[in-house]
Structures are given as structure tokens and as C-alpha cells.
Amino acid sequence: MKELFLPFFAKLTEAQRTNIKNIALLFTVICCVILGYFSYMLDTDISHSESSWKRKMNTEPQVAADLQVVSKDATKVLCGTYVEGIHDIDMAHGGYWVNFMTWFRWDGDEIQDMADHFRIYRGVIKQKSVVKSYKSGNTHYQLVRLEAIVDKSFATKRFPLDGQQFVFYLEPFYTAKRVVLVADTKESNVNRNLDIDGYRFENSMVSTFAYEYRNTRGDVELEKSTDKNIVTELATGVRVKRDGFGLYAKCFIALYGCIIWALLTLFINIYHHVDPLEMIPEALFGCVANIMVGASLLPEALDMGLLEYVNIWGILTILTATVVIINVNAIRHREALPDGTCYYAASFGRVMFYLITLFAIVGNLLLPLIAYNRQF
């Protein structure tokens, strides 16, 4: 194997061999550290997404305990949702459009109307229509169809192979002292033909979520009461996963072309004794153009993630190839034999070419696979 890849290695001095080995080892360690850090950050984000889902859909233990005290005389209202569609996803500005149906069912006349006494937390109801409203004996029932725009901070760390959680909350105008929403987990569902551009449906969940406001908002009744200002909300969550690698290819196809271009320049420099440094600026220009493609799809303020990691890895690959070309040229100029042969330059160049190519492939396979295969 050594004779195949390094035919001139035996003709080097011990100092030259040691120098090549040390540089190769240093390059390998640096690449492993960088890839290890990127992989760790992506894997940590996956774990954070799972804990975030549980936190969004479940009440804190202390608030749940306080709710039991506050709501002992409250009217229990069964509430559920049927999500018909999620569309117009706008990551750059943080929002999405959802249309769904919700229903309320309760016993007794303490509460007369729920359809006009709720809001969407961090959302704006654009259209609302009461489909059905009646009273049968002691039971009230209301069915409402809504379209709303909901604010959302999108998870961008694994973009463009991201998974997303679309969670919205129905909050009644009544505190938990008067009304407690009970999630209708049996009837709540998601349209089986739910089609979200770029994503595929994974699962959904509805639950009762209790929240304690730390202020009274100037309400005299709340100021006089010793009870905590707790409201119950119906949390509806839909989890989706990026549907394939189409957007990923769109974001990085130019970068991969630039990496191949840089590796080709390194190859012809080593094997054909050509100085291709004037070809490198084209590769770096392509990298900059590629970065702008993905950046235009995301908000300006975001954490570094897969998009930046892959671009950084590509730029480092191109810069490393450039440094190797410069050093190979310098070694040839300094140590070439009269016939132009330079065993040191040839051996050093070939070792680095294979290492750079190997890590370019490993990095650009490892990072997207971690981000995509372990989303939830």
C-alpha cells in the first residue's frame, strides 16, 4: 500500500519522513477535534429539541399543584383540536399560518359562551366562524373553525435538515378559578393529508397546559383575591421532519463544486507539476456565493449550526489545499533535482492530498447524517 501511494517515501531522509508524519498527524488531530465539536453541538441540539417538546406540552409540577387548589370550583370544559393545515412557514420572520377546528363542551350554565372568550397565545386570529353551537339538556357544545398566524422561534441549528415543532395554545379569557380546559385527547387529531412544504408529518399531541401569570394586569378581582393568577390552555403540538435532502442540495451544491475544484487544483499540482494557484480564488468566490443562498432563508440572529458548520468545513478544505500547494511549490523551488524531480514535495503533496480528500468526504457525510437521522 505504501509503495502504491508513496513511491518516493523510501528515498526521503529521516528528517523529511518525520516532518511529513508530524504534519499529517497534526492535520488529522485538528480535523477530528473540529468534526467532534460540530457533531457534539448537533447531537446536543437534538436532545434539547426533545426536552423542549416535553416542556412545551406539559405543565411545571409546581404550577400543576397550585392549579388543583385554585380550580376546585371551576367549570371543566372539554376542548380539542383538529389541525387541517399548516402553511406559509416564514423562518426569516418567525411565524406560520395554521387553520384548524376546535370544540368546547361543558355542563352547567356558569359559563354561557366559550367560542368568543379565548385567544391564541402569541398568535393573531385572522378568521373565525362558529360552525355549531347548541345546548342539549345541561350540556353546552360549540364547534369553531379558525385561521390564525402564530409567532414561532424556529429551530435553525440543523437547517436545512431540521425538524420543527409547531405548538400553539388556546387560552380562555377566564382564569382557572372559573374555567379549566380538559384536553380531548381521544377526538383531537391532525388531517391525514397534512401537507407542509419541505416537511413530512411525524406525530402530534394535545394536552392541558397550565400557566401562571406573575401580574394581575390591573384586574381588581385578581388584586383582591389570594388565589394565584393561573390559566389553563389547550396545547396542540405537531412535529415534522425535513422531507429528504432536496433543500440541503440546493444550499450546498455550489460549495461541493468548489471543494472538488480545489481538490483538482491540488491534484494537478502534485501529479502534473502545474502551479494552479490562480484557480483558487474562483473556489473561494463560489463558497461566498453559496453561503448567501442559505443565509437568505434564515433570520439574521441565529445560533451557528449545520449551515455554518458545512460551510466552515468547505472553506477549511479549500484553504488547506491552498496552503499545501504553496508549500509544495516552495519545496520544489528549494530542493528539486536538476531533472526537476523532488521526492520530498511529491511525498508531502500526496500524503496531504489523500488526507484532505478523506476528511472532506467524511465531514460532508457525517454532519448531515447526524442532523437528519436523529432528529427526534
Q: 295-345 pLDDT, tens per residue?
A: 666 665 567 889 889 989 998 998 899 899 989 988 888 877 666 678 888
How many whole angstroms separate alpha carbon 101 and alpha carbon 127?
Answer: 12
As a whole number of Å, the end-to-end CA separation of the chain is 42
Question: What letters, b where the CB count within 10 A reaches 16 and e where it falls short, cover 290-303?
Answer: bbebbbeebeeebe
Specify the pTM: 0.83
User: Which structural domain range is residue 177 located in?
Assistant: 56-242
Q: Return the half-sphere exposure (C-beta side, CA atoms, 13 A cut-off) of residue 108.
A: 10
Pairing of strands 163-172, 139-151: unpaired
Q: Tell me: the pLDDT tens digits for 16-63?
A: 889 999 999 999 999 999 999 999 999 998 888 888 888 899 889 999
Measured CA to CA, the distance from residue 36 to residue 44 in angstroms comes to 12
91-145 pLDDT tens trace: 878 899 999 999 999 999 888 899 999 999 999 999 999 999 999 999 999 999 9
Q: Are residue 250 and residue 237 in the same domain, yes or no?
A: no
Element (H, E) at 219: none
CATH of the domain at 102: 2.70.170.10
* Whether 357 and 298 share a structural domain: yes
Residue 209 or residue 299, greater confidence: 209
Q: What is residue 316's three-state secondary structure?
A: helix
Per-residue confidence at 231, pLDDT binned at 50, 70, 90? very high
Q: Are residues 306 and 177 in the same domain?
A: no
CB 218 within 8 A of CB 229: no
> Has residue 51 been placed in a domain?
no
Residue 171, strand partner residues: 119
Number of domains in the chain: 2
In a domain, 234, yes or no: yes
Q: Which amino acid is at 323?
A: V
Domain-terminating residue out of 220, 242, 264: 242
Q: Is it the case that residue 217 has pLDDT exceeding 80? A: no
Q: Is 40 exposed, middle or buried, given 0-12, 13-18 or 19+ CB atoms closer than 10 A?
A: exposed
